Structure 1
Amino acid sequence: MSNDNTTHFGFKQVPVHEKVTLVRGVFDSVAGQYDVMNDLMSLGIHRIWKRVAVQLANVREGERVLDLAGGTGDLTVLFEKRVGSSGQVVLADINAAMLRTGRDRLIDRGLAANIRYAQVNAECLPFADNSFDCVCIGFGLRNVTDKEAALRSMHRVLKPGGRVIVLEFSHPVDPVTEKVYDFYSFNILPKIGAFVAKDEDSYRYLAESIRMHPKQDELKRMMEAVGLERCEYFNMSQGIVAVHRGYKF
Structure 2
Amino acid sequence: MISGKLFLNSTLNRNILRNLTSNTIKRGASRSQNESTEEEKTHFGFQEINASEKVGKVHKVFEDVATNYDIMNDVTSLFIHRIWKDIFMHRLAPTANTTLLDMAGGTGDIAFRFLNYIKNGKCENGCHVVVSDINKNMLDVGRERSKKLNLDQTLISWKEANAEMLPFEDNSFTAYTVAFGIRNMTHIDQVLNEAYRVLQPGGRFLCLEFSQVENPILQWVYDQYSFQVIPVLGQIVAGQWQPYQYLVESIRQFPNQEKFKEMIEEAGFRAVSYENLTNGVVAIHSGFKL
TM-score class normalised by the smaller sequence:
over 0.9
Letter in 2 for 1:89: V
Matches within 5 A, 1:24-35: 24-35=59-70
Aligned partner (choices 84, 100, 117) of residue 65 of structure 1 = 100
Runs of 5+ unmatched residues, structure 2: 1-37
Instruction: State the partner residue of 1:237.
Output: 278
Instruction: Provide the residue aligned with 1:14 in structure 2.
Output: 49
Counterpart code for 1:8: H
Identity rate of aligned residues, in percent? 43
Aligned to 2:137: 97
Matched with 1:124 is 165
Counterparts of 1:24 and 1:237 in 2: how far apart (Å)?
29
The residue type equivalent to 2:139 in the other structure is L
- Which amino acid in structure 1 is aligned with residue 144 of structure 2? D
Equivalent residue number for residue 225 of structure 1: 266
Match of 2:91 among 56, 80, 89: 56
Confirm or deny: 8 A CA contact 2:39 2:50 kept in the other structure. no
Q: Which amino acid aligns with 2:138?
A: M
Contact between 1:85 and 1:114, CA under 8 Å: does it hold in 2?
no
In our comparison, the structure showing a higher alpha carbon Rg is: 2
Which runs of 4 or more aligned residues in structure 1 lie more than 3 Å from their structure 2 counterparts after TM superposition?
Answer: none
Asked if structure 2 preserves the Cα contact closer than 8 Å seen for 1:85 and 1:113, the reply is: no
Partner of 1:41: 76
User: Which one has more relative contact order, counting CA pairs under 8 Å at least 6 apart?
Assistant: 1
Is structure 2 residue 179 aligned with structure 1 residue 138? yes
Unpaired segments of 5 or more residues in structure 1?
none
Question: Given the alignment of the two structures, is residue 86 of structure 1 paired with residue 126 of structure 2, yes or no?
Answer: yes
What amino acid is the match of 1:213?
A: F
Q: Which has the higher helix share?
A: 2
Change (3 A) 1:125 1:191: same
Paired position in structure 2 for 1:215 = 256
Q: State how 1:129-208 maps to structure 2 within 5 Å.
A: 129-208=170-249
Cα separation, 1, equivalents of 2:207 and 2:214: 18
Number of aligned residues: 247
Distance between the aligned counterparts of 2:75 and 2:43, measured in 1? 26
The two structures have a TM-score, normalised by structure 1, of 0.97
Offset, 1:25 = 0.6
RMSD of the alignment, in Å? 1.1
